[in-house]
Amino acid sequence: MRAHSFLPLLALGRAIQGAALDGIRGVSPRDVLTSNALQASGHIDDLRGKVESRDLCLPCATYMRGLQAALLAGDTAFIWSLKKLCEVLTHFDDDVCDGWVGLEAPSVAAAARAMGDFSRGAQTFCSNFWSTCGYPAVEPWNITFPSPKPAGGRPEPSRKMPPLKVVHYSDIHVDPLYTPGAKTNCTKPTCCRFERGLSLFPQSPYTNDDAPGSNTSPAGPNGEHTCDTPLSLEASMYEAINAVASDAAFALFTGDIVDDTTWETTQAYNTASTPARRYDADSAPVKHAYGVMKQKLKRVYATAGTHEAHPVNLFQPSDIGNDTQWLYGLLAQEWSPWLDPAAEAQVNNFGAYSTKYPFGNLRDVENQLEWLIKELDGAERAGENVYMIGHSPNGEPDTFWDPSHYLDQIFNRYSATIAAMFFGHTQLDQFEISYLDYAARNASNAFLTSYIAPSLAPTTGMPSFRVYSVDPETFGVLDVTTYVADMTNPAYQQTGPVWEKYYSAKEAYGPAVDPPLTDPLAELTPAFWHNLTEAFDQDQKLFDEYVARKSRGWNVTSCDGDCKKAELCQLRAGRSEDNCYDPLTDKTPYKHVDQYDVSFSVTAHTLRALANSEGGLDKLKEVVEEAKKNVTAAAK
């Protein structure tokens, strides 16, 4: 079995800036800051003509010109303006706006400057940051493969030997500064912290009201739903894994280590020695997490999450700069015990690797798609079965359409070689199905399943991990068993988390599909998962059980009508253009998030709020003028 880990091709620097080069520039944005100015100068009619000829939306061009005009004031004034707008228009505290926008805005500014008003990059930016337009249609590109797709499909389970166990966990979001007794219902995106007296945070956003003994909602020692993962919960998960799957062949970790206080993280906080209480010399989040994995688990195949980067979500491609190289170097070092030297070198280059279980060689890499094709083609010729692991699923709403479409072509071509794909990111118990024909999605053309693991972090449900039963020859997935620590159990805070089997996919869903699937050695094929979505569509009770399991029984809400249609569409979306998410009508890519959506860009929240407010461009102009005065005064 060969394992492939790849970074999502979704990072702002790569996806936005790369797309920005395809456009043409329209009229200069200078002095075009408000809708009144645009109308008075006749630019609206000019824009309409260009929109009609390029199938792009008018609001996008209007707001992009306003944004580019604001950039003429300079980066300092632009960043100050976005911070101010964040404070006025969003629910975030001022310090959160200050930190997050300060980290994100320079990249947003660089991307916006590179875009023409009518470029595909601009429309992609508008759909993700402004929500003023739908996504642009995928740029046609039929990928060339070194060999034709062979006849036949995936091999049948061997049934010769007992199944293997494979562990899958994700989105651990360990908070080394979690403080028992600290306030659980704070105003920040994540709570249960009190950082006073730490040199890393000389101006902590957490106040005396958050301190232990000073609040009426004190955090328990083992985690709360409004907080990230304490060290005690992290340790208990590995104890539980070894209790139920000590004989596992290996584990898959699909990323996101760093906690959700990403508005105040630094590269030093993520990676270097951290002078904080309860810390030793190697206890910064990334180093700490992998150190524990090495101690507790035999072999882990891991991928980078969006939170490991600093600033969060930003992975800079090498043709723009080397701001992410520190992370690739660190991951190469931390993953080295589980990889061969060639794979370690490729991690250091761009964060992806290919390795055999137990070990193997890696071929040369040029770029991610060519590298992936080369690896999969080699695996096909060698008769190997492949697991693909990544952080962000290919069909999720925050996955850009173009790279998702191109990756789907590759997955389709090598569908007989790829046994399954494994992801995290959503923090929910989910799956996605890839199809040969998305216009006619059915069991006969379902060709690949993505297994999306629920999180250890309790912010979206009960802490969880999975154990797969796997055919030892084909590596087909025979069953998926989810384990949880029930936070409503009184023992959870008193004596520690109690981990128990939550459900088996085959036991819970096998009898409900048509035809039923209960044979313990039969594979959960993509056709099985599609048939399950058909059963969900017909059986509301069965669907309600699935919805409850997404959050592992926590904060369960009803989902019918349009909600159910959207969920079924998402399950049948192995590529993002087919997930039915509409940026014009859906407030957030993740409808399940009732609390702060800390994985989403705060700058995007701000620009979206600006676009939805009355007289948004006038507000932008006013704030920019105020920023220019403040910057000038500060310079004096």
Residue list, annotated binding site for Zn(2+): 171, 173, 256, 391, 425
What size, in residues, is the chain?
Answer: 636
Q: Is residue 242 helix, strand or coil?
A: helix
Angle 378-382-387 (CA atoms, 0-180°, nearest 5)? 70
Residue type, 335: W
Positive or negative: CA dihedral 529, 534, 537, 542: negative
The whole-angstrom separation of Cα 331 and Cα 587 is 34
CB-based contact 552:464 (threshold 8 Å): yes
The whole-angstrom separation of Cα 421 and Cα 130 is 32
CB-based contact 182:265 (threshold 8 Å): no
The whole-angstrom separation of Cα 415 and Cα 526 is 11
Beta-carbon contacts of residue 488 (< 8 Å; ≥ 6 apart): none
Measured CA distances, 467 to 499, 504, 552 (Å): 13, 9, 15
Q: Which residues are annotated binding-site positions? A: 171, 173, 256, 391, 425
Question: Which of 153, 206, 147 minimizes the C-alpha distance to 182?
Answer: 206
Q: What is the dihedral of CA 316, 322, 328, 332, to 10 degrees?
A: 160
Angle 66-581-313 (CA atoms, 0-180°, nearest 5)? 65
Q: How many CB atoms lie within 10 A of CB 554?
A: 17
Question: Which of 391, 303, 421 minimizes the C-alpha distance to 353?
Answer: 303
Q: What is the distance between the terminal CA atoms of the chain, rounded to a whole angstrom?
A: 64
Measured CA distances, 560 to 39, 426, 487, 537, 567 (Å): 44, 21, 27, 10, 9
Q: Is residue 372 helix, strand or coil?
A: helix
Cα 71 versus chain centre, distance = 29
The whole-angstrom separation of Cα 428 and Cα 171 is 10
CB-based contact 456:172 (threshold 8 Å): yes
The whole-angstrom separation of Cα 402 and Cα 12 is 14
**466, exposed or middle or buried, with CB in 10 Å at 0-12, 13-18, 19+?**
buried
Helix axis angle, 341-350 to 325-335, nearest 10°: 160
Q: Is residue 222 helix, strand or coil?
A: coil
CB-based contact 406:369 (threshold 8 Å): yes
Q: Is residue 449 helix, strand or coil?
A: strand
Q: Is residue 356 helix, strand or coil?
A: strand
